[in-house]
Amino acid sequence: MNKQDRILHLATLTGFYLLESGGETYRVEDTICRILQNYGMKEVSAFTSPTVIISSCMDDERSYSKVLRVNRSKANLQRIDLLNQLSRDSDKLSVDEFEARLQHIIQQPTYPAWIEIACAGIIALGFTLFFGGKVWDALAAFVIGCFVYALHGVLVKHALNPFVKVAIQSFVIAFLAMVGYKYHIVMDYNLVIISTIMLLVPGLAITNAIKDFLSGDLVSGTTRGFEAFLIAIFVALGSGMALTIWLRLGGRL
């Protein structure tokens, strides 16, 4: 690979990891262009939608271009921060150093699984208190939250459609809450369900949609906004299904 191709590849790869970890559209485009310019390329330009990155640049002889397909993975704000910093430092780094640092950032560990599961429980617990629930309900929400996040880990391995995944989780939440209600563990099932459902709310998609609209990226903004809307629908669908089955089985609301 000659030098220009390598620079374009590295810049686009940085954008790829940014977008994958949940970066905004303008940030991805800016980052790619900044890196390319810092390494002396001309006529740099990049286009990003939530699923694809197209970038191109020129040197004195010819133009280069690259397309990368992106599949969203887990949100990782720490990685976005580090990559952002890397792109700003790129004028002081050689191409080799840049690549080494990029590799280093990619290999940074995330929190271990048990901490994430416990935190999912803490989120549910915190929301129950925030919405004015009793301590007992908060503890029930903690258990359900932990269980659902662990379930999420299992569902991810089966490569399900993200919307179906959310619907299944929300179904399990409502179902567990109703079972708890029946055996008098849960006092206010509405509150417990709402608090735990907040785990599934597409916070990053909403925030990114807003920010994309703010910076004029209408394609990404619309896509992400619609994604958030669909996820909300599927969350309602899942818990609604559980409650309907509950009613049909003769339970009371």
Partner 1 sequence: MIVRILGSLLAALGFGVLFNLKQHKLIYACLGGGIGALVHEFTMYLGLSSVLSLLIASMVITMYSEIMARKLKTPVTSFMVVALILLVPGGGMYYTMLEVILNRTDNAIIIGVDTLAKAGALALGTFVSTTIRKLLFFRGHQ
In the bound state with partner 1, the residue whose beta carbon lies nearer, of 64 and 207, is: 207
* Residue 235 CB, nearest approach to partner 1 (Å): 7
In the bound state with partner 1, the residue whose beta carbon lies nearer, of 61 and 112, is: 112
Chain mean position to CA 46 = 22
Q: Footprint of partner 1 on residues 14-33 (CB under 8 A)?
A: 22-24, 26-27, 30
In the bound state with partner 1, the residue whose beta carbon lies nearer, of 58 and 118, is: 118
Residue type for position 166: V
Encoded one letter per residue, x for contact with partner 1 by CB under 8 A and - for no contact, window 88-117 reads ----------------------xx---xx-
The SS3 call for residue 112 is coil
* By CB under 8 A, residue 120 contacts partner 1: yes
The SS3 call for residue 73 is coil
* Residue 96 CB, nearest approach to partner 1 (Å): 25
Q: Footprint of partner 1 on residues 168-197 (CB under 8 A)?
A: 190, 193-194, 197
Contacts of 164 (CB under 8 A, 6+ apart): 234
Contacts of 109 (CB under 8 A, 6+ apart): none
* By CB under 8 A, residue 156 contacts partner 1: no
The residues facing 235 across adjacent strands are: none
Measuring CA to CA, which residue among 178, 181, 149, 179 is closest to residue 166? 149
* Among positions 105, 139, 155, 201, the unique one binding partner 1 when judged by CB under 8 A: 201
CB contact at 8 A, 199 and 149: yes
CB atoms within 10 A of CB 30: 18
Question: Which tokens is 214 given?
Answer: 């703010």
Which chain residues interact with partner 1 by CB under 8 A? 22-24, 26-27, 30, 74-81, 84-85, 110-111, 115-116, 119-123, 125-132, 138, 190, 193-194, 197-198, 201, 203-204, 206-208, 210-211, 213-215, 232, 235-237, 239-240, 243-244, 247, 253
